[in-house]
Amino acid sequence: MPTLGDVQRLYDFLRRHPTGVDSFWALLLLGFSGLSVASEGSGRASVAVQVVTALALCTVIVLRRRFPEKMLLLATAAGVFQLVLDVGPNVWDFAMLVIIYTVAAGNTRWASRYALIGGLCAPVLATIRWPGPDESPGKSIVGIGFLVVPFLLAWVLGDSIRTRRAYWAQLEEKAGRLEKEREQQAQIAVTAERARIARELHDVVAHNVSVMVVQADGAAYVLDSSPEQAKQALATISGTGRQALAEMRRLLGVLRTDDSAEGGEYVPQPDVEQIGELVEQVRGAGLPVEFTVEGAARPLPSGVELTAYRIVQEALTNTRKHGGPDVEASVRLTYFDDGLGLLIEDDGRGAQHELYEEGGADGKGHGMIGMRERVGMVGGTLDAGPRPGGGFRISVLLPIKSGR
């Protein structure tokens, strides 16, 4: 007993060989046509003429999918051949219905219209050429109406199939377009996340490594003369390194695929309250920093808090890099009703013009670019440049959305 899988395989085989299927139906039609000719004939035409007509229309069935327009013209020629040589209607004329359906289901619009017109004219011409005995005009009109229905139904069915195929093609195209858009959005999201991680890593590494370098230089300088100070510097290096590792572990945690893996817990993101600890760390590294807070402190959006922390971190890192010897800095944090203000200044020699205006070349100025990107993401403003009396100044305003 055939199984469902056998039926599916047979169906797939038939779909892969449409001409073979059509050839089978053409042979079946040719067999019925031969029986009809042998039993009663068709009109006054000779048997040879009838056989030629049958062969032509069976050929239409065989090649209708490969050459639909040409087979439509062949069917038209066979119809005219029947009219001229008095080959009356017979079973082989079923091929005309099939070719009308085929071209109506295709995408060649002229052939579809041609088939519709031909299907409407064929019954009229057949009724005129072979009128029934003692048939009144009224009965002839009714007969034509009945004969038109199969041709019209064949065309309507084919056109409906064409419309359905076009609809499904549009759906597939839309689905493919949506899939591509989803892939593009995913790629954009991945790129944005990588850029965020790059900014975070830059801030973390630049700040902590600079602190460690300063402390290491100091430890090497006082190693012989003041072992206690060297020991304290080494402890600072150790603590700074651990802090850097913890923050990097948190940042890179978004790239982990196994949340249960060892080390899956990460420290929270820095906020405004930790700016004081940051300043103390910088002071411990040898940079005098004055830190003041103005206004009533209150909870802020996490994005604003992280941005404020990173701006101060990067600004103080740049002061150590570009400020020169004996530089001092100040950090002022101001709470406004609708925002948070940051003012970071130093009295050093400042940075080169290209580092804060254009981002520089050869990889320079990335910290300032990162600051501008961070501020822009939360809708804030940043102004950076040399102070009139010397040194460098960074002024930032981060708005606080009211949510209304």
pLDDT one-digit tens code per residue, 238-263? 777 777 776 666 666 555 544 444 44
Give CA–CA dist 130/151, Å, rounded: 18
Q: Between these two residues, 128 and 342, which has the higher pLDDT value? A: 342
* Whether the Cβ atoms of residue 210 and residue 314 lie closer than 8 Å to each other: no
Q: Which of 239, 240, 233 is nearest to 286 (CA)?
A: 233
Domains and CATH numbers, the chain: 4-130 (no CATH), 271-404 (3.30.565.10)
Q: What's the angle, vertex CA 105, arms to CA 166 and CA 87, rounded to 5?
A: 175
Q: Report the distance separating Cα 231 and Cα 60, nearest Å.
A: 99
Positive or negative, the CA dihedral 29, 30, 35, 41 is: positive
Question: pLDDT tens digits, residue range 22-81?
Answer: 899 899 998 888 888 887 666 666 788 888 999 999 999 999 999 999 999 999 999 999
Separation CA 206–CA 321 (nearest Å): 10
Give SS3 for 87.
coil
H helix runs in 64-131, sequence order: 68-85, 94-105, 109-129
Q: How many CB atoms lie within 10 A of CB 73?
A: 14
Q: What pLDDT digit, counting tens, does each position of 300-332 carry?
A: 887 888 889 889 988 898 888 888 888 899 999
Show the tokens assigned to 169.
């093609």
The alpha carbons of the chain give a radius of gyration, in whole angstroms, of 44
Non-local CB neighbours of 32 within 8 Å, separated by 6+ positions: 91
- pTM flag (> 0.75): no
Q: Which of the pair, 284 or 245, is modelled with greater confidence?
A: 284
For residue 93, the one-letter residue type is: D
Q: How far apart (Å, rounded) are the C-alpha atoms in residues 87 and 64?
A: 23
pLDDT of residue 80: 92
Question: What is the DSSP pairing of strand 289-294 with strand 381-386?
Answer: unpaired
